[in-house]
Amino acid sequence: MKVFKSDSQGIYAFQKIFKHIHSKGSNIVLWQLSPTSSGRSIANSKLSSFKIEDGILNFEIPNGYSMQQSLPMYFYSEDGQLIFKSEGIRVEKNFFTINLPKEIRLLEEDEVGQIRLITGLDISTVWKSKRFNFDDVSKVDFGRIVGMNQRTTRDQEFLGNEFDRVSLDDEDKLFADKRESPRARPKAEKWAKVVSQKSPDVQLLRIFDLSRGGISFVTMEVDLFPVGSKVNIVGIEEHVLDDPLLAQVMSHRPIDELDIEFKIGCKFDEGQS
């Protein structure tokens, strides 16, 4: 069983999971254990909305379903073969809200039968096609271009603020006439979440500079970013982008005398600004 926790390392997986479930309108099986018997109160629901940055998930209230706000609730999605639980339920008129779970568990094949026994669903036939795969680069679509006007409102506002923070240093001024976009050297140290084509892992790397035309970051693992390869910027600081920024690696440059750390210069693919 693979477990993702709601910390800085796992939040990218949370964003991917709930975005997928919401966009697909996936069925969510939920249940609570009866406090007076061994029975379970089971119903079907859907994720109506979510805000990862605020740590909340909103679900439809099933017709005729009586939930106990003081009891833990369990959630299972066939679309992804994942399970999680929440111990804080807040009921509104047409939906109920829970806090972001502390962890999400992706079921292994031998565990699917246990959920079938709990929920009464025969889910074995959909195991192969619907399970999330976080173990290879298929989790990032390196060929997808998303224009600014196609992005979510939260991403448009965030990226607009980041790109507008232009603070040129001497090098930037010297080469400003040779660049399509001015480079913004972050006034405070900032970090980008980067996925390369060479590894499925999300790398947390210090941003060297940033503009609407591209980004550069610092790494000691220069072999992960060969010139000409693609990278996806999946987040900056605590903000996980709903749609990553696609870029091409253009250059390497050592930034210390021992050639230990390198600045990786990347150009955003056209159509994203």
Give the start-to-end residue ranges of the domains of the chain.
2-135, 148-268
Confidence band, pLDDT 50/70/90 cuts, at residue 217: very high
d(CA 198, CA 136): 10
Q: Is 154 helix (H, G, I), strand (E, B) or coil?
A: helix
Long-range contacts made by residues 133-142, C-beta under 8 angstroms, separation at least 24? 134/2, 134/4, 134/13, 134/106, 134/200, 135/200, 136/200, 137/195, 137/197, 137/199, 137/200, 139/16, 139/195, 139/200, 140/195, 140/200, 140/232, 140/234, 140/244, 141/244, 142/197, 142/230, 142/232, 142/246
Do 2-135 and 148-268 share a fold? no
Q: Tell me: the pLDDT tens digits for 11-34? A: 777 887 888 888 888 889 888 877
Q: Report the predicted TM-score, pTM, of the whole model to 2 decimal places.
A: 0.48
CATH class of 2-135: mainly beta
Q: Which pLDDT value is given to residue 247?
A: 94
- Residue 96: what residue type? F
d(CA 3, CA 138): 19
Within 13 Å and on the Cβ side, how many CA atoms surround 188?
3
Q: Tell me: the pLDDT tens digits for 230-257? A: 999 988 887 888 889 999 999 999 887 6
The top-scoring range by mean pLDDT among 65-74, 95-104, 152-161 is 95-104
CATH class of 148-268: mainly beta
According to DSSP, the residues that pair with 3 across neighbouring strands are: 105
According to DSSP, residue 35 is labeled S
